[in-house]
Amino acid sequence: MRDAAPTTIHLKDYTPFGYLVDEVHLTFDLAPDATRVTSRIAFRPNPEAPGHRFFLHGEELRLIRAAIDGAEVTPEITDAGLTCAAPDTPFVWEAEVEIAPAANTALEGLYLSNGMYCTQCEAEGFRKITYYPDRPDVMSTFTVRINGTHPVLLSNGNPVDSGEGFAEWHDPWPKPAYLFALVAGDLVAHSDRFTTVSGREVDLNLWVRPGDEDKCAFGMEALKKSMRWDEEVYGREYDLDVFNIVAVDDFNMGAMENKGLNIFNSAAVLASPETSTDDNFERIEAIIAHEYFHNWTGNRITCRDWFQLCLKEGLTVFRDAQFTSDLRSAPVKRIRDVIDLRGRQFPEDQGPLSHPVRPESFQEINNFYTATVYEKGAEVIGMLKRLVGDAAYAEALDLYFARHDGQACTIEDWLKVFEDVTGRDLAQFKHWYSQAGTPRLTVEEAWQDGTFTLTLSQDTPATPGQPDKLPQVIPVAVGLLNPNGDEVHATEVLELTQARQSFSFEGLAARPVASVLRDFSAPVVLDHDLSPEQRAFLLAHDTDPFNRWEAGRSLAGQCLLDMIIEGTAPDTAYLDGLVAVLRDDGLDPAYRALMLGLPSQSELAASLQQRGLTPDPQAIWDATETLRQATAQHMQDLLPRLRAEAQVDAPFRPDADQAGRRALGSATLALLSRLDGGAQAAADFTRADNMSLQLSSLSCLLKAGKGEVELAAFYDQWRGDRLVIDKWFGLQVAMAAPGQTAETARRLSAHAEFNWRNPNRFRAVFGALAMHHAGFHHASGAAYQLLADWLIRLDPVNPQTTARMCAAFQTWRRYDEGRQALIGAQLDRILAQPNLSRDTTEMLTRIRG
């Protein structure tokens, strides 16, 4: 499909487009195999980029007719687009092209999902719809006419006209083509209204397939909360008469912020207590907020080029995290985000796919919608806010919106508003955008004559293309505790700017215990050599909820590493400390549930690698199992009490309070099931009236090697609900024993309902396989081979989803030679496929190294 020599695009090569676009008119005549797209576009030469040739992107289009100012032209056409002689005065371009949405399985451009037309244009999908300068710095208003027989015909902006077989939309806000959207189908709306702070009445619609009406209420409430929150916290008001959200079943990502017409993966918006877990509810609320917040951070102010992706994504992730912290529990959200960062971003940053938050080159931009751009990008904004303070942050954001509304911006523009507001030089801070890799922060302590000194040093390992790193500005939030547990020095943010730097605290009566990197104030690996007693002390007394949790986490981690490396028995300092925290009913149940978590097995593998050891996935699995079993026994007497505290008596609500109780209940049930062989889980499954309990009890049964009957009952109950059946697929893989994981995935992939062209279903099975550390890395290599087989099969159909799944192999160099040989052979086998997509080729080439 693609040419053999892929081209690399560089940030430093940016040049503006030679023409400005004043207006775009599009007409769609919808038909599954031959949709006609007619465009009329007003161009004029760009005074800032004179003399450029007139090139329009276009891929997989059949050009029928093109004209400039009404006179037919014959452009020169390649795989990538067309070039045409054009006047150096304003002119009107017209083109008619034909496309085939029914044949579009890549889910980029205009495609069909269950008979419904929809589009996905970010990042470079618009060029599969018509010829256009498909780059984010070209912004224009759009008027769209859709001719089609479907009852619902939607596009961006406000409705201007509609009638039998057509609808017309106008979007008055200039936007880049990646924010274009069109939907046509047999849809029903869950509708509501919102009055903005200045009194604008907005019609809100959540469009779904008939049958899904009962899964809309929660998403709609989340939307209204998001709209209010952005007014109150960021002073941002909505700017159109309607806001439409559409749920589609076939979607590569979570959701998309198209102007006035957000398109969502159904899994990221449809929710009901019977079918959605508490985690689903929280995630849906956050994604709705995220896409809505893009209206200002992304749409009104967009990106100059795709290297600036973190400008909109890092900021919008940061904003949606603030929203969730405000609506739910800030410490719980912070801990969950750090777990996620360590689970997804750290492996990326510490392996062959490592890249800066603002990459400097790419072959396929779709491969850079990463945890680094999104989550580390959000951490960078959090650090900036911590360094300048809340008031300056608010002022800088006001200036950003005032100065750049309607523009396509860069990270330089973003940092400049902070420099102008604070007078600070952010040149060194900017390294966070350009240097890849996770800095390692080492803490040394000294105590003399009432003075406590912390010496902090930083070191960022080499990453692909970046052998040497400069010191970064690292905000290190620190507090000090007295030996009696009182805080003697409240949280202070130390600014580490050098490779090594000391900070002293004077006039102390006794040597304190330092709580370092409170609230996880920077995305670094912390190396603070504390004794188990000191960690247990922090677990008992730290006033910073994040670091209190972190103390338990690191105790557990140290205990597991000792078990793996030395073969020791589980450490009672950890178990006793845990029991004490779990007993404290003054602590939020959600927080206590998080306390019961362990470092992931992949994280343990990374820790072993960092100690120069070769991780054995089976040994990590065994140690984790042993510690879990010991925890269950150690907490035996406490479990009934925890279950009682976790009990929810009120009718189901997906709020933080109830969700926290259910999380504690499910963590407790998992421990109990290790003692009673699943008896309680079987009872819970039978009485479950919500998906969280149904799924957690079923998972306990599967873990105990039981649950065959329940699994079948679950399937029968939910066979009509595709999102629940995704869970049914995924759970079986996730709960399989390491020796059974690949075989379970293989068996499920032969199931009649395994529709592998649907990204959600594909990921349910193979995402779960890749996440199962000991199962995926089973010594047989069966899982490597199975995943490779399926990636080979999926690539010609859907390169984007295939390429994303390749990341399953990114940590391969951590493991022993045998496993590396097995994985290497699979990587080579995939790479040897003829016509492998640009997406997958780039990913595998980088991983192969």
CB-nearer residue toward ligand PHE: 122 or 278: 122
435 Cβ contact list (under 8 Å, min separation 6): 356, 460, 466, 469, 470, 472
Q: Which stretch binds ligand PHE (CB under 6 A): 119-127, 158-166, 395-403, 472-480?
A: 119-127
Sequence-distant (6+) residues with CB within 8 A of 613 are 565
- With CB under 5 to 8 Å by kind, the binding choice for 819 among Zn ion, ligand PHE, none is none
Least Cβ distance, residue 239 to ligand PHE (angstroms): 18
Q: Which is nearer to ligand PHE, 575 or 807 (CB)?
A: 807
Q: Which residue, 268 or 823, is less far from ligand PHE as judged by CB?
A: 268
Question: What own/partner pairs with CB < 8 Å and gap ≥ 24 does 24-28 have?
Answer: 24/132, 24/140, 24/141, 24/142, 24/143, 25/142, 25/143, 25/144, 25/145, 26/130, 26/142, 26/143, 26/144, 26/145, 27/144, 27/145, 27/146, 27/147, 28/144, 28/145, 28/146, 28/147, 28/148, 28/182
Q: Which does 542 bind (CB under 5 to 8 A by kind): Zn ion, ligand PHE, none?
A: none
Binds 364, which of ligand PHE, Zn ion, none (CB < 5 to 8 A, cut-off by type)?
none
Q: Which of 14, 166, 234, 369 binds ligand PHE (CB under 6 A)?
A: 369
Nearer to Zn ion, 319 or 722 (CB): 319
Task: Please calculate the CA angle 124-127-131 and round it to the nearest 5 degrees.
Answer: 150
Please identify which residue in the block is written with the tokens 């893989």: 733
Q: Is the CA virtual torsion 527, 350, 561, 379 positive or negative?
A: positive
- The answer to whether the beta carbons of residues 154 and 184 sit under 8 Å apart is yes
Distance CA 310, CA 381 (A): 10
Binding of residue 255 to ligand PHE (CB under 6 A) = yes
Contacts of 470 (CB under 8 A, 6+ apart): 428, 431, 435
Q: Are 290 and 255 in contact (CB under 8 A)?
A: yes
Total binding residues for Zn ion by CB under 5 A? 2
Q: CB of residue 290 vs Zn ion: minimum separation in angstroms?
A: 5
Minimum CB distance to Zn ion, residue 572 (Å): 45
> In the complex, what is the shortest distance from the CB of residue 119 to ligand PHE, in angstroms, rounded to a whole number?
11
- Do β-strands 81-84 and 152-155 pair in parallel, antiparallel, or remain unpaired? unpaired
Polymer length in residues for the chain: 849
Residue of 94, 212, 257, 839 interacting with ligand PHE (CB under 6 A): 257
Q: Is residue 365 involved in binding ligand PHE (CB under 6 A)? A: no
> Of 150, 259, 290, 319, which one interacts with ligand PHE (CB under 6 A)?
290
Applying the rule CB under 6 A, the residues between 194 and 253 that interact with ligand PHE are: 253
| Site membership for ligand PHE, residue 367 (CB under 6 A) | no
DSSP code per residue over 144-156? EEEE-S-SEEEES
Closer residue to Zn ion in complex, CB, 286/664: 286
**In the complex, minimum distance from the CB of residue 369 to ligand PHE, in angstroms, rounded to a whole number:** 5
Residue 255 contacts which entry, ligand PHE, Zn ion, none (Cβ below 5-8 A, type-dependent)? ligand PHE
How many CB atoms neighbour CB 810 within 10 A?
A: 18
What does residue 821 show for φ and ψ, rounded to 5 degrees?
-65, -40
Residue selected from 122, 168, 250, 726 as contacting ligand PHE according to rule CB under 6 A: 122
Residues 6 or more apart in contact with residue 364 via CB below 8 angstroms: 803, 838, 839, 842
CA neighbor of 633 nearest in space, from 569, 568, 713:
569
User: How far apart are CB 178 and ligand PHE at their closest, in Å?
Assistant: 8
Rule CB under 6 A: say whether 256 interacts with ligand PHE.
yes
Candidate residues 230, 291, 320, 550; the one interacting with ligand PHE per rule CB under 6 A: 291
Backbone φ and ψ of 529, nearest 5°: -80, 85
* Of residues 397 and 682, the one with the C-beta less far from Zn ion: 397
The span of 134-142, 255-263, 570-578, 662-670 binding ligand PHE (CB under 6 A) equals 255-263
For ligand PHE, give the closer residue by CB, 120 or 141: 120
Q: Which is nearer to ligand PHE, 238 or 685 (CB)?
A: 238
**Which ranges in 6-128 belong to alpha helices (H)?**
none
> Which structure tokens are listed for 365?
């931009």
Question: Which of the 8 DSSP states describes residue 22?
Answer: E
**Smallest separation, CB 387 to ligand PHE (Å):** 25
Binds 230: which of ligand PHE, Zn ion, none (CB < 5-8 Å by kind)? none
Q: Which is nearer to ligand PHE, 104 or 601 (CB)?
A: 104
Is the dihedral angle over the CA atoms 384, 389, 390, 394 positive or is it negative? negative
Residues 6+ away with beta carbon under 8 Å from 458: 439, 440, 441, 442, 471, 472, 474, 496, 499, 500, 524
Q: Taking the alpha carbons of 300, 301, 302, 305 in that order, is the dihedral positive or negative? A: positive
Which has the closest alpha carbon to 218: 265, 289, 270, 290?
270
CB of 302 to Zn ion, least distance (A): 12
Determine if 120 is a binding residue for ligand PHE (CB under 6 A): yes
Q: Give the shortest CB-797-to-ligand PHE separation in angstroms.
A: 17
**Among residues 722 and 804, whose Cβ is nearest to ligand PHE?**
804
Which residue in this structure is represented by tokens 């449809």?
270
Tell me the C-alpha distance between 842 and 839, whole Å. Answer: 5
| Backbone CA torsion sign across 547, 550, 554, 555 | positive
Structural tokens at position 159: 């409705």
In the bound complex, what is the minimum distance in angstroms from residue 408's beta carbon to ligand PHE?
15
The verdict on 320 binding ligand PHE (CB under 6 A) reads no
Q: Rank residues 56 and 255 by Cβ distance to ligand PHE and give the closer one.
A: 255
Which residues belong to the active site? Answer: 291
Size of the site for ligand PHE (CB under 6 A): 11
Tokens 């949280």 map to which residue? Answer: 491
Residue linked to tokens 């208003």: 141
User: How far is the C-alpha of 281 from the C-alpha of 283, rounded, in Å?
Assistant: 5
Rounded Cα gap, residues 173 and 161, in angstroms: 18
**What does the DSSP 8-state code read for residue 749?**
H
Considering beta carbons, is residue 120 or 547 the nearer one to ligand PHE? 120
Q: Shortest approach of ligand PHE to residue 262 CB, angstroms?
A: 9
Restricting to residues 290-329, name those near Zn ion by CB under 5 A. Answer: 313, 316
**Selected range binding ligand PHE among 118-126, 322-330, 512-520, 637-645, rule: CB under 6 A:** 118-126
CB of 268 to ligand PHE, least distance (A): 10
Structure tokens given for 234? 């960021």
Which part of the chain contacts ligand PHE (CB under 6 A), choosing from 115-123, 154-162, 450-458, 548-556?
A: 115-123
Q: Which of residues 295-314 bind ligand PHE (CB under 6 A)?
A: 313
37 or 248, CB closer to ligand PHE? 248
State the nearest-atom distance from the C-beta of 504 to Zn ion, in Å. 43
Report the 10 Å Cβ neighbour count for 227.
24
Find which of ligand PHE, Zn ion, none residue 315 binds, CB within 5 to 8 Å per kind: none
Percent of the chain as helix, strand, coil, to the nearest 5: 45, 20, 35
Binding flag, residue 763, ligand PHE (CB under 6 A): no
Binding region for ligand PHE (CB under 6 A) out of 254-262, 353-361, 559-567, 699-707: 254-262
Nearest residue to ligand PHE on Cβ basis: 253
Binding mask 18-57 for Zn ion (x = CB under 5 A): ----------------------------------------
**Of ligand PHE, Zn ion, none, which one does residue 122 interact with (CB within 5 to 8 Å by kind)?**
ligand PHE
Binding site for Zn ion (CB under 5 A): 313, 316
Binding site for ligand PHE (CB under 6 A): 120, 122-123, 253, 255-257, 290-291, 313, 369
